[in-house]
Structure 1
Amino acid sequence: MRLVTVGCSGSFAGPASPASSYLVQVPAAEAAAAGHEERDWSVVLDLGNGSLGALQRFVDPLDLDAVALSHLHPDHFVDVCGLYVYLRYHPARGSARTGVPSRLPVLGPSDTEARLDAAYGADPGDGLAHELDVRTWEPGAAVTVGPLTLEPFRVFHPVEAYGVRVTGPSTLRPGERSVLAYTGDTDACDGVVELARDADLLLSEAAFHEGRDDAVERGIHLTGRRAGEVATAAGARRLVLTHLPAWNDPDRSRDEAREVYAGPVDVATTGAEFLL
């Protein structure tokens, strides 16, 4: 199982990266060894503004197996509208040519379908649902996508928001399974600690800095330090910080995390690959 950072800029696209989007893939050989269809499997965690373009560097969007949305702020979901256009109107494989809708599963909060239609500007009765199979997260209810298992955890954010725990065949430990925990957007809470419990890699947002953002109300974002505290409390084996706005200093975020977390700490960059 591998994680590719498609977009890691926090809250809006930055000069070096689109907004949040992360590709999780299981290569064909690993899928077959785990007893699943021998082909590459691909799931995208979030598809924020600008990320659909970058995603095409790593996978053809027509070959996606699912999209998992943490919440419905534009920097995490709005490029699903462009994905719909790609799936419907691609000149060779689009459903407008083939007559066969993709029915790509899109997992998200309770109002995902309505928000997608509104963002796209769909006319009544002509929404995105005929191309996308929009489903609602149910906390504690795991979703299986081929060799991958996705489990949502409710987290602390001003809107309905989930972290996603992804379990799949391990690349580093053949014959075993690895766990990726993605926080989405959250502040410190019990849910994010349980999400990250014993994870091989915790992909954690760290949009705030200690001191600079102390006056902002709680329940919006983690700092590098608070992400490190979550990783320590959960026993996560590795921490990757992401969702840093363009005005943040990545070294400062990393240093904050290292003050409270003894494991390896990285800062996500566009195109970075992590094997689990």
Structure 2
Amino acid sequence: MEMTILGCSGSLASPDNAASGYLLRMSDGQRILVDIGPGVLARLQVHDRPGDVHMVFSHLHPDHCLDFPSLAVWQRYHPTDAATRRHTLLGPSIAPVHLGRASADRLEDVDDFSDIFDMVTWSAPTEGPVAFPDPAYTEHRIGDARLYAAPAVHPTESYLMRIEDADGSSLVYSGDTAATPHLAAVATGADVLLCEATWGERDNGNNPPQMHLSGEEAGQAAAEAGVGRLVLTHIPPWGDVEGALRGARRFYDGPVEVAVPDMVVTPGL
């Protein structure tokens, strides 16, 4: 597995950084795009073929999904790179209606993406937390890749996800979440934890509740899970990058770095 960071700006795009979007190239040749916020489709055109990607969503806030209607246009109508098969779209249960309304011609309509995507809904443990692996986690497949979800803490239907490749590598992505024991549980022993650190070093107590993580909380989850590497992401343009690093390193003594556009991460190496 290889991950290219197309965008990692938190909550909105910045002048030199798209919002959330991560391209995974799997060992069997499948390409999986995880989230597609504003600016991500343009960066995807630099790195790969938009006509041949599967789509996975952590949740459907605008900074994680707004480029999807344009991806659908590309896969339907591009003269040389339209989709030649139906790809998987894996996401929250609200995805067909939420995304369909964003792409429809009239307010009352819902665009049907079944011509280009097989729409699949995440299934996650309803109790827990449960350390991975465990039968509580439902396996979803895209080619040879195995994907699992756990519930996140966020105002909309949101998921933490674990992606395992046939080559044995593993990546866990927090999406957007407040602190939850489900994060360390699903990340148990993972090669890489790609974790949001929106609040910088620590939550100052004035931020909206049940929304995001700080660097300290990301470091705590990484340490508890015993992951091999921590990559901090989703820091907004006004965010405290150095503070997020300090907070994470206070609790996690493994490799810690901050995501930047075009960065390539290879779990397991």
**Secondary structure of 1:47's aligned partner:** coil
**In terms of mean alpha carbon deviation, does 254-263 or 208-217 score higher?**
208-217
- In the aligned structure 2, how far is the partner of 1:169 from the partner of 1:125? 36
- In the aligned structure 2, how far is the partner of 1:78 from the partner of 1:132? 17
Alpha carbons 1:224, 1:254 under 8 Å: kept: yes
Query: For the structure 1 residues 266 and 86, does the alpha-carbon distance in structure 2 shift closer, same or farther, using more than 3 Å as the test?
Result: same
**Secondary structure of 2:251's aligned partner:** coil
Alpha carbons 1:122, 1:128 under 8 Å: kept: no
AA of the residue aligned to 1:128: F
AA of the residue aligned to 1:184: G
Whether 2:96 is the aligned partner of 1:113: answer yes
Query: 1:187-214 CA distances to partner (integer Å, 9 max, x unpaired)?
Result: 1112111121111100000111245642
Corresponding position of 2:71: 83
AA of the residue aligned to 1:267: V
- In the aligned structure 2, how far is the partner of 1:213 from the partner of 1:104? 42
- In the aligned structure 2, how far is the partner of 1:275 from the partner of 1:196? 16
AA of the residue aligned to 1:60: R
- In the aligned structure 2, how far is the partner of 1:149 from the partner of 1:59? 22
Tell me the CA shift for residue 47 of structure 1.
Answer: 0.8
Corresponding position of 1:23: 23
**Secondary structure of 1:130's aligned partner:** coil
Unaligned runs of 5+ in 1: 32-39, 171-176
Alpha carbons 1:68, 1:106 under 8 Å: kept: yes
Alpha carbons 2:197, 2:218 under 8 Å: kept: yes
Query: 1:119-167 CA distances to partner (integer Å, 9 max, x unpaired)?
Result: 1234536533333222211112211112211111111111110011000
Whether 2:114 is the aligned partner of 1:136: answer no
Corresponding position of 1:10: 10
Whether 2:156 is the aligned partner of 1:159: answer yes
**Secondary structure of 1:56's aligned partner:** helix
Query: 1:69-128 CA distances to partner (integer Å, 9 max, x unpaired)?
Result: 000101111211110000111013436xxxx6x422111111101011111234536533
Query: For the structure 1 residues 126 and 251, does the alpha-carbon distance in structure 2 shift closer, same or farther, using more than 3 Å as the test?
Result: closer
Corresponding position of 2:60: 72
Corresponding position of 1:35: none
Alpha carbons 2:19, 2:64 under 8 Å: kept: yes
- In the aligned structure 2, how far is the partner of 1:269 from the partner of 1:54? 13
2:230 to 230, 233, 239: 239
- In the aligned structure 1, how far is the partner of 2:15 from the partner of 2:38? 13
- In the aligned structure 2, how far is the partner of 1:75 from the partner of 1:256? 25
Alpha carbons 1:207, 1:244 under 8 Å: kept: yes
AA of the residue aligned to 1:163: L
Unaligned runs of 5+ in 2: 125-136
2:33 to 44, 48, 56: 44
| RMSD across aligned positions (CA) | 1.7
Whether 2:44 is the aligned partner of 1:55: answer yes
Alpha carbons 1:229, 1:260 under 8 Å: kept: yes
Alpha carbons 1:148, 1:168 under 8 Å: kept: yes
Percent identity, please.
Answer: 36
Query: For the structure 1 residues 183 and 217, does the alpha-carbon distance in structure 2 shift closer, same or farther, using more than 3 Å as the test?
Result: same
